[in-house]
Amino acid sequence: MTDFGVTTDGFVVKPVDVILSESFDRARAVFDSVDLTSTSPLRKILETTAVEDGEVWKRLEDLYFGNFVSTAIGDALDQLGEDAGLARANLASAGTVHFELTNAAIGRQYVLPEGTVVTTASGVTFGTAAPVILATGSTKADVGVVAFVPGPGGDVPDGAIASIDPAYQAIFLADFGTAKVTVTNKAATTGGTAAETDDVYRAKLLGVPRNLWTVDSVAQAALNVRGVLDVVLSDPLGGVDVSQSIFDLFNFDQRAFSSERRVGQPYPFSVVVAHEFRAPWRTIGSVTGIFEQVTAAVDKVRPIGVHANIVEADHIEVSVRATVVIQAGSDGPALLESVRQRLASDIGALRLGGDVLYSQVVRAFVEQPGVLDVQGLHLRRAPAAFGRITFGAVPQQTVLAEAAVGENLVMGPTELAVLAAGPDAFDLTVVTQ
Is 363 within a domain?
Answer: yes
Domain co-membership, 307 together with 324: no
Looking at the domain assignment, is residue 193 inside a domain? no
**Structural domain harbouring 136:** 94-184
Per-residue confidence band for 193, with pLDDT thresholds at 50, 70 and 90: very high
91 or 214, which is more confident? 91
pLDDT band at 2; cut points 50, 70, 90: low
User: pLDDT tier at 423 (50, 70, 90 boundaries)?
Assistant: low
Q: Where a domain ends, among 312, 341, 364?
A: 312
CATH number of the domain to which 288 belongs: 3.30.70
Question: In this model, does residue 236 exceed pLDDT 80?
Answer: no
389 within some domain: yes
CA-nearest of 107, 294, 311 to 218 is 294
Task: Decide if 161 is inside a domain.
Answer: yes
Q: What is the pLDDT of residue 422?
A: 66
Sequence-distant (6+) residues with CB within 8 A of 76 are: 62, 66, 67
Same domain for 323 and 419? Answer: yes
In a domain, 157, yes or no: yes
For residues 69 and 76, the answer to whether their CB atoms sit within 8 Å is: no
Residues 111 and 174 in one domain: yes
Pair 308, 325 in one domain: no
Confidence of residue 213 (pLDDT cuts 50, 70, 90): low
Closest CA to 125 of 86, 88, 99, 151: 151
Per residue in 373-383, pLDDT (tens digit) is 889 988 988 76
End-of-domain residue from the set 312, 334, 360: 312
Rounded Cα distance between 170 and 168, Å, is: 5
Please check whether residue 98 lies inside any domain of the structure.
yes
The pLDDT assigned to 384 comes to 54
Q: What is the mean pLDDT of the chain?
A: 82
**What is the tens place of the pLDDT at every residue in 46-97?**
999 999 999 999 989 888 888 888 888 888 899 888 877 788 989 999 999 9
In a domain, 189, yes or no: no
Give tens-digit pLDDT for 117-128: 999 999 999 999
Q: Are residues 307 and 339 in the same domain?
A: no
Most confident of 30-34, 89-93, 243-247: 89-93
Strands 140-147 and 94-102: antiparallel
Residues 302 and 357 in one domain: no
Residues 118, 220, single domain; the answer is no
* 288 pLDDT more than 70: yes
Same structural domain, 287 and 321? no
Is residue 314 over pLDDT 90?
A: no
Phi, psi of 327 (to 5 degrees): -75, 140
Mean pLDDT check: name the lowest of 31-35, 248-252, 321-325.
248-252
pTM for the complete prediction?
0.62
Taking every pair of Cα atoms in the chain, the longest distance, rounded to a whole number of angstroms, is: 102
Whether residue 221 sits in one domain with residue 164: no
Q: Name the domain count of the chain.
A: 4
Q: Is residue 203, in this structure, part of any structural domain at all? A: no
On whether both 218 and 164 belong to a single domain, the answer is: no
Domain boundary among 286, 312, 338: 312
In the predicted model, what is the mean pLDDT of residues 125-153?
92
Q: What is the pLDDT of residue 389?
A: 40
> What pLDDT, on the 0 to 100 scale, is given for residue 237?
38
**Same domain for 274 and 330:** no
Question: What is the distance between the alpha carbons of residues 11 and 275, in angstroms, rounded to a whole number?
Answer: 41
pLDDT class of 144 with cuts at 50, 70, 90: very high
CB contact at 8 A, 128 and 144: yes
> 153: pLDDT confidence band, cut at 50, 70 and 90?
very high
Residues 99 and 139 in one domain: yes
d(CA 233, CA 35): 73
